[in-house]
Amino acid sequence: MGASKSTIERVEIPAGQAPPETSTQKTGDNSALTGLAWLLAFLIGLNFLVLSIDPLQVVPEDETPPLQLAKTSIAFKMKELASADRGPDILLLGSSLPMYAFYESENGGFYDQSLMKRMQIQGVSPLRGYTGAHRFEKELARATGHEVRVFNFSIPAAMVSDMHLVLNRSLEAGHKPARVVIAAGLRDFVDRVNPPLGATPTFLELSDARYLGANWGLLADNAKADDLSNLVESALFPVWRYRGELKLAADHYMSLLFKRPTAHKLDVINFEKKQAESSNNPAATESEKTVPEKTVSEKLLPAETAQPPAAVVLDELDYRQRYNPPDMSQLRSEFAMLESILEICRKKGIAVTLVNMPVSRGHRLLSEASLRNEYLGRLEAVSTRYGADLIDYELSSQFKDTDFRDTVHLDTGGSLKLVADLADRL
């Protein structure tokens, strides 16, 4: 019986050509790329969804912590500025010091009613969100003889670094002011209680990739690595900056579903309950009977004068924590941001006025003399170096302690005095 003939034919391979490789590539690589593509698509879609529903508007004000309340007013002011038909003649930057002053100065029929209506519709606090300065504009028209348009972008608890970001975003929107007025005080340069540079409500709300790219060296020298990392993540994926609001929104809907208060609202309820119990209970505990050291205000008051208002005492306790022990490193960082503001304005031909805001006599004693002297010395040196106008109200005899609602915020009378004098000096 003969051998069977093989049915497999030999394939001749030309000389110098490698044999074909057997396909052993796994499909895992394609699966990984597909998964990554789906993840990116999901994140991009989530970004658009979150930005379209505006999570800042979802949570009621009584369930919103101060951080998110500040972000709400910042977002509102930025939209108001960006949507304006033209830029302001004067862009006012600052913290709650000018915020209170310019809001209080509108008393007597100067409040912008259309602006107040927009804030009401969007759930923005009138004090925090107010962008007008009509009384100041009237005083400027009186002093200069022509109409001057002012945009008030003061932000509660703002630092100078926040003002740097706001100015950059304003210029990006095409609104170049003729003059920038920075109304600040020592607290805008040193605040141990406030979030650090890069982690403030202003940065969480307004920073973006363009700002980070243009100012990376400045931020890297003056901000912490963790805060820079958060800023980068927020710039790449805006949904990241709203993680706090999304959690609050989830808590809000869960509270509606289960008919229970949110954690923040429960904290507020418990705090108010303790205050009520304390005021209704005349019998003090042994610790409450201990006589505390006199506050600065008490030391300055005549012996026959009554105790200072509770707002003054609480304000002093608050600012002692903000100023002490002195943080010279933070002071240097914030002055670096101020110098960057002045350099930007010099290059773009924008005039700058630095206003050292008035504070009460008692408030000046809450910080160490070395810190305040360093602040005042740097402020004068920087204004001279960059040719900025400096108006120093801190030691001015124009303002009395009776012009303040606490230790740093002017009342209506003090505010009217400020806007009239400032208009004459500009």
Summarised one tens digit per residue, pLDDT across range 123-178 is 899 999 999 999 999 999 999 999 999 999 999 999 999 999 999 999 999 999 99
Measured distance CA(174)–CA(87) in Å, rounded: 7
Determine the pLDDT at residue 419. 98
pLDDT of residue 169: 96
pLDDT digit string (tens) for 364-421?
Answer: 999 999 999 999 999 999 999 999 999 999 988 999 999 999 999 999 999 999 999 9
Q: Could you tell me the two tokens for 201?
A: 């409500």
How far apart are the C-alpha atoms of 319 and 316, rounded to whole Å?
5
Q: Please, what is the average pLDDT of the chain?
A: 83
Q: Please answer whether residues 310 and 297 qualify as being in contact, where contact means their C-beta atoms are separated by less than 8 angstroms.
A: no
Q: Is 129 exposed, middle or buried (0-12, 13-18, 19+ CB in 10 A)?
A: buried
Measured CA to CA, the distance from residue 161 to residue 239 in angstroms comes to 23
Structural tokens at position 188: 């805008």
Question: What is the distance of C-alpha 86 from the center of its chain?
Answer: 24
Left (φ > 0), alpha (ψ -120 to 50) or beta: where does 8 sit? beta
Instruction: Give CA–CA dist 164/340, Å, rounded.
Output: 8
Whole-angstrom Cα distance, residue 302 to residue 288?
A: 25
DSSP bridge pairs for 355: 183, 391
In the block, residue with structure tokens 């890069």: 198
Secondary-structure percent of the chain, ordered helix, strand, coil, rounded to 5: 60, 5, 35
- Amino acid present at 19: P
Q: Alpha helix (H) ranges present in 259-327?
A: 263-280, 286-289, 296-300, 310-323
Quick one: CA dihedral 415, 418, 421, 425, positive or negative? negative
Which string of b and e fits 24-41 if b means at least 16 CB within 10 Å?
Answer: eeeeeeeeeeeeeeeeee
Beta strands in 261-416 (DSSP E): 351-356, 389-392
pLDDT for 156 equals 93
Q: Give the pLDDT confidence score for residue 295 in this predicted structure.
A: 42
DSSP-derived letter for residue 54 is -
What are the b/e assignments for 79-108, b being 16+ CB within 10 Å?
A: ebbeeeeebbbbbbbbbbbbbbbbbbbbee
In this structure, the number of other CB atoms found within 10 A of the CB of residue 255 comes to 16
Rg of the chain on CA atoms, in Å = 29
Q: pTM of the prediction? A: 0.77
Q: What is the pLDDT of residue 226?
A: 87
The total of other beta-carbon atoms located within 10 Å of residue 305's CB is 10
* Residue 169, number of CB atoms within 10 A of its CB: 21
Q: Give the CA angle between residues 395, 155, 68 to the nearest 5°.
A: 140
Beta carbons within 10 angstroms of residue 350's beta carbon: 18
pLDDT of residue 42: 73
Cross-strand partners of 390: 354
Three-state secondary structure readout of 233-267: HHHHCHHHHHHHHHHHHHHHHHHHHHCCCCHHHHH
Cβ proximity of 67 and 156 under 8 Å: no
Q: Within the chain, which residues score under 70 in pLDDT?
A: 1-29, 43-44, 46-67, 243-245, 252, 264-265, 267-268, 270-311
User: Which domains can be identified in the chain, with CATH numbers?
Assistant: 61-234+248-262+310-425 (3.40.50.1110)
Q: Which stretch of DSSP H or E encloses residue 179?
A: strand 179-184
The closest of 286, 359, 352 to 319, measured between CA atoms, is 359
